[in-house]
Amino acid sequence: MSSVDFDICVIGGGVIGLAIAANLAKSSSVLLVEQHDAFGTETSSRNSEVIHAGLYYTPNSLKESLCLAGREALYTFCQQHDVPHQMIGKLIVAPDQDSPRLEALFQKALMLDIPIERLDQHALHEHEPNVSACEALFSPRSGIIDSHIYMLRLAQEAERLGATLTKYTKFDKASVNDSGWQVELTTSDGPYSLNCTTLINAAGLHAHDVALRCGTSLNDLPLLSFCRGRYFSYQGTNPFNHLIYPLPEANLTGLGIHATIDLGGQVRFGPDTEYLSTTNPAHLSYEIPSHLKLHFAKAIQGYFPKLQVEQLNPAYAGIRPKLHLASEIAADFHIARHDRKNTPPLLHLVGIESPGLTSSLAIGQYVTELLLPKN
Ligand SMILES: Cc1cc2nc3c(=O)[nH]c(=O)nc-3n(C[C@H](O)[C@H](O)[C@H](O)COP(=O)(O)OP(=O)(O)OC[C@H]3O[C@@H](n4cnc5c(N)ncnc54)[C@H](O)[C@@H]3O)c2cc1C
């Protein structure tokens, strides 16, 4: 029988892999492998850094339950581990009176016990004199976070609990052996092989490819599409007191080109939604064409009429791993065990788009529960 080097190997050192490692390290020996020279340099560094309240998601979905649980866990973690954050609050603004979509979000918030306030035009003007809309919802438990410090703290916490986190280490493939999984890695010193009992795939945009390399058929996973979201930064003094969101896009393809404020007070607008024809992460481009500025300006002027096109500067882009097309109803996170009878535990996380950052700690807990021995 081959000896086991680690109980669990987590593939991917984005915010999800790090949160899983930190949770599992409480009870198991954990190795996390990340291919790049730093943690969280892919999607986890290319998002809005917003802590979502949980208003938007399909009832009873993982996105909904993990966002609600994750949001509260995240605020507590930030306080305990000195992660810069601010419960700044979010306004969702409607261009028309009596918007049924705004009403639906309001009712949802009430049903889920998410603090929410309805604002008429006058009250909205008091909150946000620079925003033009007919009515709005105010979500006071929405916030912003420094996602880089958050990931640093997650890594520190995982290591404090005994996990081994390695950078420059690429997962190549895994096969079943007599003690569990034999894992083949490429490290900066060359190929390396080790044994573990459980494999967890938290490889973000590469999760389908990693699943294939663990012997899972793509027929057993939801279909993947990539959807790019781009941001422009705003040149000027911050004109807002809160995050400003338009109504979300149909099927939750995106949340609409919104205004986020980072902890330094810098305003960014985005992301838009652009479905891509590739599902190969090696073919992704994060470029922002300059002609997009006009399209962004038009969308933003819908709620911030004072914006001048020249005040927008290309910032960055991120890619969503989507499990639905723009014409389809929003899909849920796919977080599931894929081990078959008599094979060692194997878990794939695919389609971890927004609200993945908000949900990360709850996802760590959920994964731990999925690994409890089956009856
Ligand atoms: C435009 C945009 C805006 C968003 N805004 C928000 C928001 O405001 N709030 C919110 O809650 N969520 C938001 N999200 C969602 C959030 O960013 C993601 O859910 C989260 O970052 C996903 O983290 P991850 O760890 O799954 O993926 P990643 O951060 O991509 O991490 C996966 C890691 O796996 C590594 N990896 C892959 N293959 C291998 C391999 N073979 N060997 C070793 N390592 C490997 C990669 O290098 C990568 O570091 C947004 C997402 C996007 C795209």
Closest residue by Cα to residue 47 from 338, 245, 340, 319:
319
pLDDT of residue 14 exceeding 70, the answer is yes
The mean predicted confidence, pLDDT, of the chain is: 95
pLDDT of residue 375 exceeding 60, the answer is no
State percent of the chain over pLDDT 70. 99
204 lines ligand 1 (CB under 6 A): yes
Determine the residue of 42, 201, 333 to mutate for testing ligand 1's pocket, defined as the one with the most ligand atoms within 8 A of the Cβ atom: 42
Query: β-strands 6-11, 30-33: how paired?
Result: parallel
Instruction: Count other Cβ atoms within 10 Å, centred on residue 374.
Output: 8
Atom of ligand 1 at shortest range from CA of 359: 11
Per-residue pLDDT band at 256 (split at 50, 70, 90): confident
Give the three-class secondary structure for 247: coil
Could you give the CA distance from residue 82 to residue 80 in angstroms, rounded to a whole number?
6
Contacts of 108 (CB under 8 A, 6+ apart): 55, 59, 114
Q: Is the dihedral of CA 52, 56, 62, 65 positive or negative?
A: positive
Helix (H) or strand (E) run with residue 22 in it: helix 15-24
Per-residue pLDDT band at 1 (split at 50, 70, 90): low
pLDDT tens-digit readout, 29-54: 999 999 999 999 999 999 999 999 99
- Judged by phi (left if over 0) then psi (alpha if -120 to 50, else beta), residue 98 lies in left
Which DSSP string corresponds to 95-144? SSTT-HHHHHHHHHHHHHT---EEE-HHHHHHH-TT---SEEEEETT-EE
Could you give the CA distance from residue 249 to residue 230 in angstroms, rounded to a whole number?
15
Amino acid 269: pLDDT = 97
Helix (H) or strand (E) run with residue 86 in it: strand 85-86
Amino acid 65: pLDDT = 98
The residue whose C-alpha atom lies closest to atom 4 belonging to ligand 1 is 47
Per-residue pLDDT band at 342 (split at 50, 70, 90): confident
Closest residue by Cα to residue 359 from 12, 79, 23, 93:
23
Query: β-strands 30-33, 164-166: how paired?
Result: parallel
pLDDT of residue 73 exceeding 90, the answer is yes
Looking at residue 328, what DSSP letter applies?
S
47 lines ligand 1 (CB under 6 A): yes
Determine the residue of 165, 169, 206 to mutate for testing ligand 1's pocket, defined as the one with the most ligand atoms within 8 A of the Cβ atom: 206
Closest residue by Cα to residue 174 from 192, 152, 188:
192
Q: Are 87 and 356 in contact (CB under 8 A)?
A: no
Looking at residue 13, what DSSP letter applies?
-
Domains and CATH numbers, the chain: 6-47+148-222+331-370 (3.50.50.60), 87-141+224-322 (3.30.9.10)
Determine which of 97-101, 137-141, 170-174, 298-302 has the lowest per-residue pLDDT on average: 97-101
Distance 26 CA to ligand 1 centre (A): 23
Per-residue pLDDT band at 57 (split at 50, 70, 90): very high
Query: β-strands 190-201, 346-350: how paired?
Result: parallel
50 lines ligand 1 (CB under 6 A): yes
